[in-house]
Structure 1
Amino acid sequence: MAFSPITHLRHFDIAVPDYKKQVDFYKNHWGLTEMQDDGGVTYFAAEGSPEQYSVRVREADEKRLDMVAFGAADNAAVDQLASDLIAKGVKLIGEPDDLKTLGGGYGFRFFDLEGRTIEVSSDVEVRKHRKIEEREAIPVRLSHVVLNSPEPEKMLAWYEQHLGFRLSDTLNHPRVGDLFYFLRCNSQHHSIAIARGPHASLQHASFELRGIDEYMRGSGKLLRSGFKKIWGPGRHSAGDNTFTYFHDPNGNTMEFTTELDSIDEDTWHPSIYDTSDPMTSDQWGTGGDMDEFIAKEMFNDKDKGLFVPPPV
């Protein structure tokens, strides 16, 4: 039986001031497919994913995370979650209804503890997708989204209690305390994670590639195109996934990854990883040690859209 009403991560939506560069980045460098351009709003899909889109870009004066969207099993699950959230005192942005965004579906939006807009939906039209071929260095799908929080312990509790996410692993520093909580809603090690940061913001969004070779080729392509590499290539201990992090044209952090752990729910026990051990951040030792300078690169700007629903 499912432990969470959430089945999977669908997409994340961002607003950016340099809209044209962001669209060019996803389309011509990151390897996504443009699905629809509504004039100031562009939808991008990952070729290997059945989701209608993995990221939506909106033109705006200020940068913000517009939304993080999740899937639910069916309309009844959507309605039940909405009722449960209301009973727990969560104010909905809107009641469950037919969605007007690409792919349609049935869903609703609400604010999380820190004011990010969250959407949960079902019955979204399945996109015609395809198998990504060997050496094809483009994303298969959106892997996970990581959120910065000044109070990650409270965020962890909120996502566990309100959306049924489970803790997979924790990153801890002996002097600072817990730095990272990895949360799952299915067998994937994490669909979201909560990172300790100075303010609420998008820490990074991660896209999965076909395998190690495709991941390295994709990372190399970004390097040759002149995009700023923050960290990588390497391999984390928690989740056992590969990583290379880049800044996009608007200063958001985007990650290429592959081989994220799959969890056996009956046997998995969360671990606490010591970040003072360099093996925790990078098993290979190729990406360079995580330090305060790399961490600051992922703090991002303070989100200007908290408790304000996006216009689309």
Structure 2
Amino acid sequence: MTDPKRSGVTAIHSLDRFVFSVPDLGVAKTYFTDFGLDVRQIGNRLDLYTFGHPHRWGSIYESGKPKQLEYLALGVYAEDYEPLRRHLEKMGVKAVDPHPLVDEQGFWLRDPDGITLQIVVAEKSSPNEKGEAFGPLNMKNPIGIDIGINRRAMQPVKPVRLTHALLFCSDVPRSLKFYKEALGMRLSDQSGEGIAFMHGVHSSDHHLLAFAKSDGPGLHHTSWVVRGIDEVGLGMEQMLNKGYRYGWGVGRHVLGSNYFYYQRDPWGSFTEYSYDIDFVGVDTDWPAQDHPPEDSFYLWGPTAPEDFVTNHETATRKAG
């Protein structure tokens, strides 16, 4: 099946990979293994896969320094690579040197907050259709009636794929303008100048990237699709049983509509189990809206931790 492409539009199609660095690679390896990812170590780098999927979703390097977002790789179709490069040059977006951690080809630029971006020809990893809906886990009792599954039958939760990343930025409208005009993404929804969500025009989840107001750049969370709402709750249970106590959920978002559980990682950012996020097809012109603050966060769930939107990357840089 051919990947979808919106006619007459040159734009990125996927968040191909995120890359960040941490003080201790061993801590990262344990955390993401516990979370349910297929973690592969190559020298001083971890590559993050989901089991049964060939795509490399993220890479983590050891720096001996506080956690820092290094760069994002954004995927394009081969036929869009040179047209997008020319478009950026015409806009006056300056090319920059490749990131020192790079291990593949592409051209490089920075967004208005200085986040390094790599544009790379890649297979489309964002979805082409709405994910399959799974109901609650059930088993049949001896007379054939569905009943709840028992704990002893549970297997570890293993996410299916990456769905999105949320970035901190100093000016949400400015970031929206850049990612729309420079890279062809489109607004899905926003809440004032506090938070905004953007999708890919060649079909994607409700958001590939989201932006939250802060005092500078950083990575707030990455989000990973699981197979049902039960797996969101079981993911929470999995992490609690591994000794990770600080998280948020289970709940359901308004914008994007997905069920969620956020686990705080060892560096102050989060990793989300997500199920049933909205989908924007290649032929859909999503009716973006500006929502009131009470709809920007969640429909139901426990109260979010007070420091849920704290940018620990800028806090660390200021302390240093």
Q: Scaled by the length of structure 2, what TM-score is found?
A: 0.79
Partner of 2:168: 148
Which of 18, 21, 30 aligns to 2:27? It is: 21
2:205 maps to 188
Task: For 1:1-312, list aligned pairs within 5 A.
Answer: 1-2=6-7, 3-27=9-33, 29-35=34-40, 37-51=41-55, 53-62=56-65, 63-74=67-78, 76-94=79-97, 101=103, 106-123=105-122, 137-172=157-192, 178-185=193-200, 186-264=203-281, 265-276=283-294, 280-283=296-299, 285-288=300-303, 290=304, 293-296=306-309, 298-302=310-314
Aligned AA for 1:152? V
Q: Secondary structure at the match of 2:279?
A: coil
Cα 1:48–1:7 shift into 2, 3 Å = farther
Identity %: 27
What is the rounded CA distance, in whole Å, between the counterparts of 1:59 and 1:267 in structure 2? 42
Q: Deviations over 1:195-232 (max 9, x none)?
A: 11122111211111122122221121012212143321
Amino acid corresponding to residue 214 of structure 2 in structure 1? G
Closer, same or farther in 2 for the Cα pair 1:48/1:211, shift >3 Å?
Answer: farther
C-alpha displacement at 1:148, in angstroms?
0.8
Larger Rg: 2
Aligned residue pair count? 279
Residue 257 of structure 2 aligns with an amino acid whose one-letter code is D
Question: CA–CA distance in 2 between the matches of 1:304 and 1:5?
Answer: 34
Cα distance change on mapping 1:42 and 1:5 into 2, 3 Å: same
Gaps of 5+ in 2: 1-5, 126-131, 138-154
Counterpart residue identity of residue 292, structure 2 = D
Q: CA deviation at 1:112?
A: 1.3
Moved over 6 A (4+): none
Q: Please, what TM-score do these two structures have when normalized by structure 1?
A: 0.81
What's the secondary structure of 1:218's corresponding residue?
helix
Q: Distance in 2 between matches of 1:303 and 1:39?
A: 29
Counterpart residue identity of residue 72, structure 1: V
Shift in Å, 1:125: 11
Q: Which amino acid aligns with 1:167?
A: L
CA deviation string 1:123-181 (max 9, x = no partner): 4699xxxx9x9865111111101111121111111111100110000124xxxxx2111
- 3-state SS of 1:66 partner: strand
| CA distance in structure 1 between the partners assigned to 2:172 and 2:102 by the alignment | 33
Alignment check: 8 A CA contact 1:200 1:303 kept: no
Gaps (5+ residues) in structure 1?
A: 173-177, 306-312
Whole-Å separation in 2 of the counterparts to 1:245 and 1:79? 38
Q: In structure 2, how many angstroms separate the alpha carbons of the residues matched to 1:229 and 1:136?
A: 20
Q: Is the 8 A contact 2:253 2:297 kept in 1?
A: yes
Q: Which amino acid aligns with 1:287?
A: P
